[in-house]
Amino acid sequence: MKKFSVKTIVAIGIGAALFFVLGRFVAIPSPVPNVNICVQYGLLAFMSVVYGPIAGALIGFIGHALIDFSFGWGIWWSWVIASAVFGLLVGLAAKVLKMNEAEMGKKGLIKFNIGQLVSHVICWGAVAPVLDILMYNEPIEKLFAQGLASGISNAVTTAIVGSLLCVAYAATKTKAGSLTKE
């Protein structure tokens, strides 16, 4: 079993806290009931790329559970699980697409956005609605409307916020050969 480094554990705590703050206080209401336009998924995607799929899953799970808990209506476990699955999938996509091996140029951003888009489609088009049906017996039409609205808005905000975070982070990394003497 792989052990987490102190750095990864701290990242999970800070990531979950930031996910909570962004989801609770920076959420923009959408025309679809119980759906907000959320910027926290850009942060989650970035943290998943940097710290891996397990860290991403924990950040999404803890952060989303805290958001739901703070609103007082109870924790909506189907969507909490979907957020965790999103963090997991983006982290796995980062490994498969080898995002950390390349500089975050055009190719890296395209890979990042393909990974996050596919992950959003899976989470908000399948995981959240199916779990809502199984766990809460919710009406199908409502669930897929919410999933579609969430998936589209989350993919757009992730493309913007997540891409900006990845580019900024990549700019702080030492480039191969940049420390050699000319």
Residue 135 sits in a domain whose CATH number is 1.10.1760.20
Cβ contact 119:82 at 8 Å: no
Task: Please report whether residue 24 resides in a domain.
Answer: yes
Q: Are 19 and 136 in contact (CB under 8 A)?
A: no
pLDDT value of position 106: 87
The tally of CA atoms less than 13 A away on the side-chain side of residue 180 is 4
CA distance 148 to 115: 18
In a domain, 1, yes or no: no
Q: What pTM was computed for the model?
A: 0.91
The verdict on residue 64 lying in a domain is yes
Q: Show the domain range for 109.
A: 6-172
Q: Is residue 158 part of a domain?
A: yes
Q: How far apart are CA 83 and CA 158, in angstroms?
A: 13
Q: Residue 182 above 60 pLDDT?
A: no
Residue 31 has pLDDT above 80, yes or no: yes
Residue 180 falls inside a structural domain: no
pLDDT at 66: 97
**Residue 179 falls inside a structural domain:** no
- Tell me, yes or no, whether 78 lies in a domain: yes
Q: 10 Å Cβ neighbour count for 14?
A: 12
pLDDT recorded at residue 176 = 63
Provide the pLDDT confidence category of residue 39 given band limits of 50, 70 and 90. Answer: very high
Within-domain flag for 26: yes
Per-residue model confidence (pLDDT) at position 134: 94
Total number of domains constituting the chain: 1
Average pLDDT over residues 142-171: 93
Q: Which residues, other chains included, contact 147 with Cβ-Cβ below 8 Å and sequence gap of 6+?
A: 124, 125, 128, 129
Regarding predicted confidence, which is higher, 106 or 87?
87
Identify whether the C-beta of residue 118 lies closer than 8 Å to the C-beta of residue 90. Answer: no
Confidence of residue 170 (pLDDT cuts 50, 70, 90): confident
pLDDT at residue 101 in the model = 63
